[in-house]
Structure 1
Amino acid sequence: MRSIWVWVIAVAIAIAVVAAIYLLQIPSEKTETSHAATTPTVTTPAEQTTPATTYTTQTSSQATPTAPAQKEVKIRDVLGREVVVKVPVRRVVAIGPGALRLVVYLNATDKLVGIENLETRPPQGRDYAYVLWAKNLTKLPIVGQGGPDTQVNFEAVLKAEPDVIIMSPALANTPDEIQAKTGIPVITVSYGTLGGINFTELFYSIKILGVVLGREQRAEELIDYMKTLMEDLNRRTAGISNRPTVYVGAISFKGGQPFTSTQAQFPPLVLLNTPSIADRYGVKPGMQIQKEAILKEDPQIIFIDLGNYINVAQDFNKSKDFYCSLTAFKEGRVYAILPFNYYWTNIATLFVDAYYMGKVLYPDRFADVDPVKKADEIYTKFLGMPIYQKMAEDFKGGFRELTEFKCG
């Protein structure tokens, strides 16, 4: 009997040993699997194969049905800086003149996590800002004061926790300084010369932002649309031998400006193949032309930027003799255009103004164009909403002859 119990105990011990060995193996396997899932994979961006971006094969494991997988890319911004970013980014801030405008045009406001204090102002004068107000985006956290040549508020930017900072070159801080102090990738975008437009730089900026924001298709559509408008304006105004002399006054630059504020190669006129009297004097954005030069040239048609209407109206009352010495004022050929510049160039409005100016200058060539309908077509394409009527309410009735400037 005793031997039987010894045998039973031996068998039980053997079973326990086998079970223990088996159980010891299971934690080892689980630990290995867990370690493989949590150890970060370090990837190096591939060599750049295109001017703008280079994709790597690394994708994020945190993709969801509403948040697509991210890819690590190397972006070359307009300053030639190469910046590594995981795209499409999910959180973004845009600082400095013109930066936020492009984010709005690309229909990527859902990614904004903060705005500059300047953008909380009423939208008058900034075409894209009507979208900010319509979507209640002026309630977003403030990431800086805003304005040309201003200092970056590093604390406010860091608090917003963006994945990337989109910036204009017209800030006091350099992109490398901002990137070094925040540890956040910085992409610089540009339209060209401040207060003007360089379509090559603009299109490049839109393309790289399309990649960063996951809006590549939207970027291509917008660029193609602008090219279509440019080709149409060129076609309508090509081959005209007898062109009127033109002056465009009261163009904003870093704030309000007087009637004498103008610029050579004014973009809407360039698209219309039409020189301005300012071209002869090489007037750069932000500069002014002498009143004596305007009197000497005596332009046949004058356009006034409604962004500075009040300045012109006040000066007209003070210096009526000057204005009424100009043929355009005496004969009632002074017209209003919508604000061209406000926190850099209003690109959508640039095209809107061009069609209205074309209608005034070359009515036969633009006989089929209704400037108001064309304006809302353009605004809807850029902003997703028609805003001409709102602009007209905000700016003295919009497109019209300025009959209140009466002489005689």
Structure 2
Amino acid sequence: MERRTIALVIVLVVTVVLLGVVAVMVFRAPGSQETKPQAPRVITVVDFSNRTVEVPVNASRVVAIGPGVLRLVAYLGALDKIVGVEDAEKSWSPLGRDYAMAYGDVFKNLQVIGPGGPRNPPNPELLRSVKPDIVLMSRVYVDVYDPDRLSQEVGAPVVVIDYGVAGYLNVTEFKRAITLLGRILGREARAQELAKYIDGVVDDLAQRVRVAKVAPSVYVGAVSYKGAQPFTGTQGMFPPLQLLKTRSIVDELGKKGFVNVDFEYILKKNPEYIFIDLNNLQTVLDDYKKDSAKYCALGAFKEGRVYALLPFNYYHTNVATALVDAYFMGKVLYPEQFKDVDPAKKADEIYRVFLGKPLYEEFVRGFGRGFGPLSDLFKC
């Protein structure tokens, strides 16, 4: 009896084991193998604050905060990933911010994630509410909010982005920024396309002026910078002129950045050509009406060589517009070398490459005029 009992137990055990094997075979697909759950795929990047950050691949929920960052996302054609925008993008006039002129309607339907502006700190609570996969943060904000702290508070990696000093065009830094963002946002081919295009533009401008025999004397007045600026508000190393290898009369002062010069200095230098930023044209007109004599003492005003420029410094450098201005200035200063260039058509070519839309006529409608002489307003 004991032997029979033992035999029955063995049979039962074998049967249970076999049934378990069959069950596993039934519930597993033929040919499948047991695999461990895969961790989300990430890539490691080094940002513009020299921080090493892990970011998810194929992130679909992205926010961009601080001056210039959303512009770069727009240039890369990745606005479909943006899930919230700063209040500044909704409340400020888009005129002069190329990406906002092109896609401001898109921003209207997105949730507000903070105040925006160069000096306002990010809002972790509002950022967290849109559940971003990645926060792209302007390096300007590093001075007012620690990115590692923000990452912990929002629960998402924060990548610091920059493309040079606001109001200037650093092509090397711009290409570095879009290359990094292209990798993060899955737009690497687009980043390469933009880098190649801007290299072509820079080379084209340099080649044209290389054969010019004489560099003209130039002054750029009322340059956009932190609100309304007078005629005497200018900029050393003005970016479009730098692209044309041409100096402004203020460059000899050795100051890079936004500076105010005495009117007497402009009178002394008496530049052949003067350009005025359309963003501050009314400020200049108001001053002209008060004392037209001092303006008419300048040869450029007397002889009709005063021209309008599109503003390109608005919530960081509008790269496309800076390139557009360079072609117009080249057309005025070096007519023989730029005789094949139609500034309006060239502008829309550049805007189409960067933003997929022509924008020149929007500038004209917004400011009431575009590129061209201002002799109808300043009569001497």
TM-score, normalised relative to structure 2: 0.90
Q: Which has the higher contact order (CA 8 A, sep 6+)?
A: 2
For residues 275-314 of structure 1, what are the structure 2 equivalents within 5 Å? 275-314=247-286
Is 1:157–2:154 an aligned residue pair?
A: no
Q: 5+ unaligned residues in a row in structure 1: which ranges?
A: 1-6, 42-59, 61-70
Q: Any idea what the Cα deviations from partners look like across 1:290-339, whole Å, max 9, x if unmatched? A: 22221221111011111122222222222323222211111111100111
1:326 to 261, 277, 298: 298
d(CA) in 1 for partners of 2:149, 2:234: 34
Task: Give the drift of 1:284.
Answer: 3.3
Does residue 100 (structure 1) correspond to residue 70 (structure 2)? The answer is yes
Deviations along 1:89-136, one digit per CA (max 9) or x if unpaired, are 2111111111000000000000000011111134201011122225x2
- Give me the whole-angstrom Cα distance separating, in 2, the residues matched to 1:235 and 1:330: 32
CA shift at 1:13, angstroms? 10
* Residue-by-residue CA offset, 1:55-98 (whole Å, 9 max, x unaligned): xxxxx5xxxxxxxxxx4211112222211112232111111111
1:255: Cα distance to partner?
2.9
CA distance in 1, matches of 2:184, 2:198: 21
Distance 1:274 1:103, change over 3 A: same
SS at structure 2 position matched to 1:357? helix
Amino acid across the alignment from 2:101: Y
Cα shift readout 1:229-282 (whole Å, capped 9, x = no counterpart): 000000000143322110111111233322222111111101111100120123
Aligned to 2:188: 216
How far is the alpha carbon of 1:213 from its aligned partner? 0.6
Within a 5 Å distance, the mapping from 1:70-85 to structure 2 comes to 71-85=41-55
Identical positions, percent: 45
Aligned pair partner of 1:250 in 222, 229, 248: 222
SS in 1 for 2:55: strand
Deviations 1:125-166 (A, max 9, x none): 1011122225x2321001111111211111111111111111
In 1, Cα distance between equivalents of 2:79 and 2:302? 47
Kept after mapping to 2: 8 A contact 1:125/1:339: yes
**Structure 2 Cα separation of the partners of residues 255 and 175 of structure 1:** 28
SS in structure 1 of the partner of residue 234 of structure 2: coil
Amino acid across the alignment from 1:383:
L
> TM-score if structure 1 supplies the norm length?
0.84
1:28 deviates by 7.5
Matching residue's letter, 1:93: V
Letter of the structure 2 residue corresponding to residue 113 of structure 1: V
- 2:107 alignment counterpart: 137
Residue of structure 2 equivalent to 1:263: 235
SS across alignment from 1:287: strand
Corresponding residue number in structure 2 for 1:86 = 56
**How large is the Cα RMSD of the aligned pairs?**
2.8
User: Quick check: 1:88–1:211 contact (8 Å CA) kept in 2?
Assistant: no
Once residues 286 and 96 of structure 1 are traced to their aligned partners in structure 2, the CA distance between those partners, rounded to angstroms, is: 21
Provide the C-alpha distance between the structure 2 equivalents of 1:132 and 1:29, rounded to a whole number of angstroms: 55
SS of residue matched to 1:304: strand
